A and B are shown apart, each in its own frame.
Chain A
Amino acid sequence: MVEPRAELVIEGLSKTYPGGVRALRGVSLRIPSGMFGLLGPNGAGKSTLMRTIATLQDPDEGSIQLGALDVLRDKDRVRRVLGYLPQDFGVYPHLDPLSLLDHFAVLKGITARSERKAVVEALLNRVNLWDQRKQKLGGFSGGMRQRFGIAQALLGDPRLIIVDEPTAGLDPHERSRFLNLLAEIGEHVVVVLSTHIVEDVADLCFEMAIIAKGRVLRHGEPQRAIDELRGCTWKKVIAKEELAGHQADHMVISTRLVGGRTVIHVFAEDAPGDEFAAVDPDLEDVYFTTLAKAA
């Protein structure tokens, strides 16, 4: 069994796919119990890392420990304490959530019928699928399916919860409900939440890592990262044509449209000059700055 408050320790994880894509390049992370956010753009290696932790694939090098458990060798043990929500998953279209969740509950080791019933019903309620419990999963919308995925990941008192892009496709209401649920569970267990939505991490996580191109770019507490950036982030409203010129002159970390006009954020230790205004940085600026620095 996994001792309470066990840490997840990842050492030197590397993985190269047959096509030559190097998904992970010596990733090392120490993840304490509680919510941990894994931020990164598409193709950063987040899912590879998540799947590796979830016993679904082996790295070429490196090790993963969950407390005293060797995750890569003792897969069966790990699976007993694991709750996993993959980024992308399907369901049996002909089954309803009640019976499929019940099926998963058995496979999770909840073999007593009455216990199973209680767990399944509670979870379906919590993810707001109780009304739809008898409808075919084939007719579910993406958000409903995602909620079902969350329910199955939480079955059976997991000590290690891996959720890959869990909030994708959820409306704001459901998203907040899910984050609350996660926060409730995540106090005493390791929860790794991968996302490219900075807000998720900002709202929820005590610790986070930013990875890109298979490397960990930054690892630590979100707030400290934001503090580090204070005084180095500036913004300016520009015309679209001016963008190229600004990119040449400054370290532009993000570009976005606000009310039809282009707003850029730049990173600079010192004030970059005219028309740039200082910004109180948020996690998003941390994220983009980290990526921009790495590029």
Chain B
Amino acid sequence: MLATFLKFELRYRLRQPAVYVFSLIFALLTFGAMTSDAVVIGGGSGQTAINAPFVITQMLGIMSVVSVILVTAFVSTAVIRDFELSTDALFFTKPIRKLDLLAGRFLGAVAVAFIVMIAAAVGLAVGTMMPWLDAERVLPFSATPYLRALLVFVLPNLVVMGSFFFAIATLTRRVLPAYVGVVAFFVVYSVSQSFAGDLDNDTLAALSDPFGMAALGTSTRYWTVAERNSALVPLDGTLWLNRAVWLGLAGVCFGLTVRRFSFASRARKPKRGDDSRDESSGLQGSRTDAPLVVVQPRFGAGTGLVQLWHALRVELGAVVRGKVFIVVVLFAVLNVVGGALGTMDELYGTPILPVTHLMVRVVDRVFALFVIIVITFYAGERVHSERQVGLHEVYDALPVPSWVPLLGKLGALWAAVFVLLGVGALTGMAIQLARGYTHLEPALYLEGLWGLSLSQWAMVCVLAVFFQVLVNHKYLGFLLMLIFFGSQIVLPALDLQHGIYRYGWAPSTPYSDMNRYGHFITPALWYRLYWSLFAAGLLVVANLLWVRGTDARLRLRLREARRRATRLQLGLLAGLVAAVFGVGAFILHNTTVLNDYRTDDDEEDAAVRYEQLYKAAWDAAPQPRVVAADLEVEIWPHSREVALRGTLELVNRHDAPIDRLMVAVEPRLAVESLGLPDAALVEHDEELGVRIYRLEPALAPGAALSFPFSLRFAEAGFRNHGSVTQVVGNGTFFTSGFVPHFGYDAERELGDPNERRKRGLPARVRMRPPTDMAARANTYITREADWIRFAATVSTSSDQIALAPGYLVRQWDEGDRRYFRYEMDAPILDFYAFLSADYVVARDHWNDVAIEVYHHAPHDMNVPRMIESVKASLDYFTANFSPYQHRQVRIVEFPRYASFAQSFPNTIPYSESLGFIADLSGEDAIDYVFYVTAHEVAHQWWAHQVIGAEVQGSTMLSETLAQYSALMVMEKTYGRAKMKEFLEYELDRYLEGRSAELERELPLSLVENQPYIHYNKGSLVMYALREVMGEAVLNGVLAQYIADVGFQSPPFTTSLELVERIRAAMPERFAYLVEDLLETITLYDNRAIEAKATPLGGDRFAVELVVESHKQRADGAGAEQDVPLDDWLQLGVYGEDETAEPLYLEWHHITGPRTEVRVEVSGRPARAGIDPQVLFIDRDPDDNVRKVEVSE
């Protein structure tokens, strides 16, 4: 019987088009994801093979999340279609068993969904065989990963999800609740996953994810490239448990469905009042003899408007009272709360303040999906509402112009989005208040949501209605909208980035507290105007094509449109077309004539051209060195212009004359004059901004050349994208990148190895080895200079303060301009910046060093923390390393267009989004404002005193040592316990960073400017070194190192020199650590196996500890090899109080995988284990320590 139903269901489904349409869509999706960059579904990057087992599993896993909608589409109708088609009376009167019917139908529907997913897998597999893929990134085909993904993830997920939504649809006998359930499910799912995403509860997160993806994520999170490419996804205990738990739940759910399901047709529950009043009873019965009232309808100019107003109210009522709308609003609000919590947990678990622009951004981002759902769904519902209930024949014969229903329905959509965004704003404010943040900015909500956001959604509403009218088929209209939303994602990926052909698109309008919407608002408004006019045109067309009557074929409607087209409408349409062309031409003039329109591909092409044209001849060509810069910088914030004049002093430090000079000017700057006569110009590439001059006479060895220049920056009109964020109304911040540069700049080369291969460039050596003496002639900051003399006069508008490195020697006003003269009293690196904004200055001092924080007036919350940190840093660094070379430390805020802090000589630009709005009120928050500040101050030593050569390992000398210095300052202020917390984040980021490596991982001492190594691993390594060497010894090494190499001339120092010094100072038993920590990639797998304690009387306990240790070496791709243990590791026993001193913590000599130890402690032991502080890198640090079982 069951088999009969299953077969019937399968046959029924396979005769329907849905299964084939879905199969095609899914297969195309996976095929597209595999073969192009336009579609992205999970996937690997860098050296991970395109079809690595890991990637295949991930892609099919993600598709199986998407397939919830698919399986719901099938299971939801499996039984209830009998009720809808009214075949229930035929079917359910037969002698059949409920279980057979339900199970047969359910399994049939799931089987069909599985067929679609198999199609997805086939699409993926076929994709991997396409000839245009990078052959180096494709592994030979193997069916195993596909089968495993299908059977372990996809099929169980279909059964689990299917059973849930089958239950909802079958028991409520309606499809809609099932889909509402899907939406609810996804919301709860995403929120719960973001909560479960915390570091602590991985296993719980793995179990709580019904798709098993979290379990997959947990076991593969730290996978290296080698593992991703070779290993099949492990079927470990957590994964099995996850599958079992969810399939069990599905079984229970299905069982309940069978029990509660009833064949009986459901009688409509009589509503009160339906029957209670007899038709003929009562005094107030109908007076069927009442005289007819005859009223002449009047049709005048205002009739249409009155009708429109009325229609709008009726339509809006239907939308906002609709269950779907209410459900969507609820979920949107829930999601905003989740999203806000997620966004505010910014760095090291420390939240940022819920400032208004942040809340607006969260609401805008989170609501997008829900607005899309509301627009798409209700456009279909409302446009077809009369047709759906069968009222259209009455409705269409009414004496209303077509624009009344058209605008009524559209207006209702607009109003619905308006309401939705309003709810979003209220939610945002509620979150702010709940967090105790009372600086609400209602105007900002208004501008951001009801202004910028609503105006774009309004155009999408028009499009949705237009599609529905055009195709006059609800689901086809949905499909067109789906294609539209897809194209919004796909077009830019295909390098079609211009807004002139992307409906409704406008350049983004990033908001900064300092600069507000700045100049970004102008182009955003022009694009909105352009697309609004276009949308208005669509409306006129929609009005002409509006379906009226029963014969809605497009051909007939086009004929009818000719009849309907009044002169007014045609005139309006012509006017709109003309206006679209006019505004479009204006936009094109601005974006392509006044400005360069360059796609991402164009930028990459330029990089390729630069390398191909100049690398061979110029990479090693001797060029003179910049030794001094005296600049005159005029900043005009309000018109966003900069005039940059000055003189660079060049000296030939080589022993041969130089007869050619390569000058590069940032292409977006206009050159007014350069220091050499035009006659000497040999070659000029305008696009790349490269000029090559002949030097006549050649610059003799030791001779100097004065190079005056005058440049100007101005952004005429506006750009489609990529508008310059460095020069803005309030918060200008640009670096020495704006002055002319000399010689070849390897930084401009295309870095991504896959892109390089695609464009036929040879593999690139990212950095040269520390032994390369030619490379050691330069610092890693720039090749054109090392230490320079620096002075600058900076001027700005009278309401702003302008800054540059150096000491302010003079300030004066001239007209409505303010002038500042900055001079440096000692040589600095050729690395400086200019800033200008309306600042408030907080001043303090440490000994005779002035501390100044230049900030946006309302951002004063964390300024005292910054000052504290500067003081603590100066204390520690001067005591332990060397004196501070400047008399001043300045921290300068800049807008959130970038989110870093960067240390220039005595000047530290610091993004408004980093630290200024951190919420440090939490007791146990990691004070990253303090830490980041200390890190940047440390750069005054590590970079501005000791600077490495342009070779591997140099960022260890700047970033890693700055990181170590900041850690020490932080530990002095916040204690050891905080350090452990901080280092846990560092370990996590290091492990994640290495699995996302694009080229190859390197040991710390050979790091090639890889942040996860020089920051995150650097912190861990330096902290471990501090633990084994002692702080005094390590700092002694560093102090001596500065004394020896600080402010040195070429050749510049390398990490090898520091490593040798550390080796020399290392205690003998830890000698192997130099190799482990600095020279190789070494990982431990330490775990506590057993921990038992027996009381010895009094408060003495004997603790028996069994631990396991493994040590591995990894190569650049992450392939690991066990290496024998002959190591010293800490064993520790801790009491109940985690913050108290450990009961026992000693170094033990570990020589094999298994170690048993018995120690006696005073105090009741609670936890014990190996390397309990996780000093060494361990992929699973949580199992290092376990609970101690105390036998009584």
Contacts and interface: CB of A to CB of B under 8 A. Distances in A.
B1137 interface: no
A58 B401 CA distance: 18
B39 to A, nearest CB: 38
Given A89-B391, A118-B295, A128 B288 contact: yes
A51 B297 contact: no
Contact of A107 (B282, B288, B307): B307
Nearest to B282: A131
Interface string B373-387: 000000000000100
Interface stretch (A75-83, A198-206, A209-217, A267-275): A75-83
Interface stretch (B446-454, B544-552, B608-616, B938-946): B544-552
A149 interface: yes
Contacts of A106: 306-307, 310
Contacts of B291: 122
Contact of A73 (B297, B318, B563): B563
Interface in A113-143: 115-116, 118-119, 121-131, 135-136, 139
Q: Which of A92, A119, A131, A157 has the most CB of B within 10 A?
A: A131
B435 interface: no
B550 A56 contact: yes
A108 B398 contact: yes
Contacts of B290: 122, 125-126
A82 B553 CA distance: 24
B292 A107 contact: no
B385 to A, nearest CB: 8
A185 B292 CA distance: 9
B271 A139 contact: yes
A79 B564 CA distance: 14
Contact of A118 (B288, B293, B389, B551): B293
Contacts of B398: 79, 104, 107-108
A289 interface: no
Contacts of B131: none
A293 B146 CA distance: 72
Contacts of B296: 156-157
Contact of B399 (A91, A109, A124): A109
Given A55-B549, A107-B404, A119-B295, A82 B397 contact: yes
Contact of A131 (B279, B393, B394, B551): B279
B389 A93 contact: yes
Contacts, number: 151
B192 to A, nearest CB: 35
A63 interface: no
A90 B551 contact: no
Contacts of B385: 92
B556 interface: yes
A51 to B, nearest CB: 6
A121 B285 CA distance: 12
Contact of A91 (B298, B306, B389): B389
A86 B297 contact: no
Nearest to A72: B563
A79 B271 CA distance: 37
B284 interface: yes
Nearest to B294: A157
A58 B560 contact: yes
A94 B381 CA distance: 15
Nearest to A152: B394
B686 interface: no
A116 B286 CA distance: 18
Interface string B277-315: 101001011111011111111110011001100110010
A15 to B, nearest CB: 9
B297 A90 contact: no
B29 to A, nearest CB: 35
A135 B274 contact: yes
* Chain B contact patch, size range: 35 or more
Nearest to A129: B286
A90 B395 CA distance: 11
Given A107-B404, A135-B274, A177 B311 contact: no
Contacts of A116: 295
Interface residues of A, number: 57
Contacts of A124: 286
A55 B395 CA distance: 11
A241 interface: no
Interface string B440-477: 00000000000000000000000000000000000000
Given A125-B288, A177-B288, A107 B400 contact: yes
Contacts of A157: 294-297
Contacts of A82: 397, 399
A142 to B, nearest CB: 13
Contacts of A247: none
B17 interface: no
B268 interface: yes
A88 interface: yes
B745 interface: no
B569 to A, nearest CB: 13
Nearest to B292: A122
B1097 interface: no
Nearest to B274: A139
A48 to B, nearest CB: 9
B237 interface: no
B852 to A, nearest CB: 67
B400 to A, nearest CB: 5
A57 B311 contact: no
Nearest to A87: B393
B393 A84 contact: yes
B649 interface: no
B273 interface: yes
A111 interface: yes
A184 interface: yes
A29 interface: no
A103 B310 contact: yes
Given A124-B286, A131-B282, A57 B271 contact: no
B396 interface: yes
A51 B551 CA distance: 10
Contacts of B553: 18
Contacts of B284: 130-131
A293 B415 CA distance: 61
A156 B297 contact: yes
B390 interface: yes
Q: Which of B395, B398, B401, B548 has the most CB of A within 10 A?
A: B398
A191 interface: no
A2 interface: no
B558 to A, nearest CB: 12
A130 B302 CA distance: 31
B295 A110 contact: yes
Contacts of B303: 109, 111
Contact of A149 (B394, B400, B563): B394
A104 B311 CA distance: 10
Contacts of B397: 54-56, 79, 82, 84
B393 A79 contact: no
Contacts of A149: 394
Given A76-B399, A79-B398, A109-B297, A90 B292 contact: no
A108 B393 contact: no
Given A18-B553, A91-B389, A111 B295 contact: no
24 contacts: A51-B393, A54-B397, A55-B396, A57-B549, A79-B399, A80-B297, A84-B393, A86-B394, A88-B393, A90-B390, A104-B394, A107-B395, A109-B299, A110-B295, A111-B307, A118-B293, A119-B293, A125-B287, A126-B286, A131-B279, A131-B282, A152-B394, A157-B294, A177-B288
Given A58-B560, A131-B282, A135-B271, 17 more contacts: A57-B549, A58-B556, A79-B399, A80-B299, A80-B399, A82-B397, A84-B397, A89-B391, A89-B393, A94-B318, A94-B321, A104-B394, A107-B400, A118-B295, A130-B285, A153-B394, A156-B297
Interface of A: 18, 51, 54-58, 73, 76, 79-80, 82, 84-86, 88-94, 103-104, 106-111, 115-116, 118-119, 121-131, 135-136, 139, 149, 152-154, 156-157, 177, 184-185
